Amino acid sequence: MTNENTDPDNEINQEFSEPPIISEIENLKEQLCEAERKKEEYLTLVKSTRADFENYQKRILRDQANERRFAHFQFAADILPALDNLDRALQAAKQSGANDPMVQGVSMVLTQVLDVFKRHGIQRIQAEGTPFDPNLHQAVMQVPSKDLPVSTVVQVLENGYTLHDRVIRPASVSVSSPAE
């Protein structure tokens, strides 16, 4: 009576028939490699998402700062026609030679409004005598001139204004052209 469990040949066969363990180890190695690859993929995704979020935060802060910086833009644009009328009234009074308290009052109001504008970053574009700049000026006419270089602002017809570095309204100007 031979017992298969005690057969020496059978024991030798069992020692050499352990490939299921080796294949299981290989399978686990593959799973480990796949898990490492996914880990790297997710880590890259997290880093990318973090960088995108930080860039988003910076962009929002920059946009908010610009919004605060230029918050007065539309108000200034809306008030400019009234300021122009004050300026025209003062010029008309000076041309007629009037120097009564009313003219002085209009002059004081105009000066006060320009001071308030300056405190808030709104300034007149200084144009007369400067070279024509299409970013700051709007040419509405040309004046032949022998004395001035071509494309020099001869006269300001309507003042232009900037808010910090943005043009609210370009100055309407006449520019010099070659004399005929």
User: 63 and 100, same structural domain?
Assistant: no
> Residue 19: its pLDDT value, please?
66
User: 166 and 114, same structural domain?
Assistant: yes
Residue 2 lies in a domain: no
User: 85 and 173, same structural domain?
Assistant: yes
User: 46 and 125, same structural domain?
Assistant: no
Which residues in the chain come in under a pLDDT of 50? 1-4
Domain end (from 31, 52, 69): 69
> Residue 2: its pLDDT value, please?
45
Residue 1 lies in a domain: no
Query: pTM for this one?
Result: 0.69
> Residue 101: its pLDDT value, please?
86
> Residue 147: its pLDDT value, please?
87
> Residue 1: its pLDDT value, please?
46
CA–CA separation, 161 vs 169, rounded Å?
5
Q: How many domains does the chain have?
A: 2
C-alpha pair distances (Å), 37 with each of 43, 44, 45, 134: 10, 11, 12, 58
Residue 101 lies in a domain: yes
> Residue 145: its pLDDT value, please?
87
User: 95 and 79, same structural domain?
Assistant: yes
